[in-house]
Amino acid sequence: MKAPFEAYWDATQLGLNYTITVIMFCVGGFVSGLISKKCSTTVRHITSAVMLFSGFFILSRIGNGSVIPLYLGHGILAGFGIGMTYYTVFGTINAWFPDKQGLSIGILLCGFGTSALTIGRIANIMGRSEMIGWGNTYLILAISVGVIMLIAAKLLKPPPEGTVLPAPKNHDMADGAEKVRNYSAREMLRRPLFYVIFMSTCLIIFSGNASFSFAKDIITDVGGSTEFAVTMVGVLAIFNGLGRLVSGWLFDKIGLEKTKVVYGVSSFLAPLTVVAAMASHSLFLGVVGVGLCVFAYGFTPTANSVFAVRYFGSKNFQLNLSIINMIMIPASFTSTMAGWIKDMTGGFMPAFIIMAAFTAVGSVMVVCLKSRKA
């Protein structure tokens, strides 16, 4: 998606645009949660439609010159619009499936995660076509995304008051749903448990974020061809989607406590496998390691969604989740840190050793999370 802009601006400017996008995504989600009690899902979806259309339309008219339109169109408008609709959809679907909260969230996140394998590739083909070009590609995206969001505004609505829905089937989850009280955002921020969740998932997500950014370089460093590495970058979207889907299924199937152990162990093994691949120059371990990092990365948003419901209640789910997911802001700087360490040391191994240490701490914290009395 950033291919046309690489001719105009350098990696630092494009990296800053990514950081702005992530920050505005978090801000959009926070605002969506903040106004969720006063503004209907329809209003929030229409607002997102306007912002997404405006952002992509600006990108369709962008040219060689100031970088400000890029930051405004992609970073601020599109980032905010995506964040607002993301949390609106999550809150809506979460309310419809109290018996399958983990799985429903996992499926939604699977769609969000696999977009790199679909929309990105389609846009790239269209953008490089002489008949269409990048300007028209972003114009088509502006129109199509705007229309889809307007359709969502009509169709995606929470259950009407008085609707009887199935109760949670899993004993572990059902007990939690009955006993946990509904915390406001202010009350949540006063609980030590919130900061444990925030710090642990933030530490865990570091290696996945770096793997996304440098997957191609890591694969080639351990002996893979450039063509194979490019293919693996696309395949990583599948690992990301699987992490979201499998984690949601596990939360519903085996419960919160056991799934936390799976989450912690897989997250800890992921960067260690990358380190082992670099030490042994093993392409097989490199593929497995990067795949595990991205799998754990996909596990995290599902875990945070379930943590928000199970530890802080469903009443203020959207706002509370948007605050927990602020971990994306510090995580967005991980690739910059990994790149800097690589430039200093000449390889990625030191960066992943550091991230393995971070992940070890985060994994232990996740496994040891205590719920309602914390």
The rounded mean pLDDT for the chain is: 82
SS (H, E, C) 178-221: HHCCCCCHHHHHCCHHHHHHHHHHHHHHHHHHHHHHHHHHHHHH
What pLDDT score was predicted for residue 359?
87
- In 3D space, the residue among 367, 99, 111, 107 whose CA is nearest the CA of residue 252 turns out to be 99
Which region among 97-101, 135-139, 259-263 has the lowest average model confidence (pLDDT)?
97-101
The domain defined by 1-166 folds into Growth Hormone; Chain: A; (1.20.1250)
The Cα–Cα gap between 174 and 310 comes to 10
pLDDT digits (tens, 9 = 90+) for 300-329: 888 888 888 888 988 888 888 889 888 888
- In 3D space, the residue among 315, 55, 299 whose CA is nearest the CA of residue 201 turns out to be 299
The Cα–Cα gap between 251 and 101 comes to 8
Distances (CA, A) of 178 to 65, 165, 167, 182, 312: 57, 15, 10, 11, 12
Its pTM stands at: 0.74
The Cα–Cα gap between 339 and 222 comes to 17
Tokens of residue 289, six digits: 């390691």
- Intervals of CATH 1.20.1250.20 along the chain: 1-166, 170-374
Q: Residues 202, 325: contact at Cβ < 8 Å?
A: no
Band (171; pLDDT cuts 50, 70, 90) = very low
Tokens of residue 315, six digits: 């009443």
pLDDT digits (tens, 9 = 90+) for 39-88: 888 999 999 999 999 999 998 888 767 888 889 999 999 999 999 998 88
With vertex at residue 322, the alpha carbon angle to CA 314 and CA 162, rounded to the nearest 5 degrees, is: 25
The domain defined by 170-374 folds into Growth Hormone; Chain: A; (1.20.1250)
Question: What is the DSSP annotation of 2-18?
Answer: -GGGGGTS-HHHHHHHH
Looking at the predicted structure, is the pLDDT value of residue 374 above 50? no
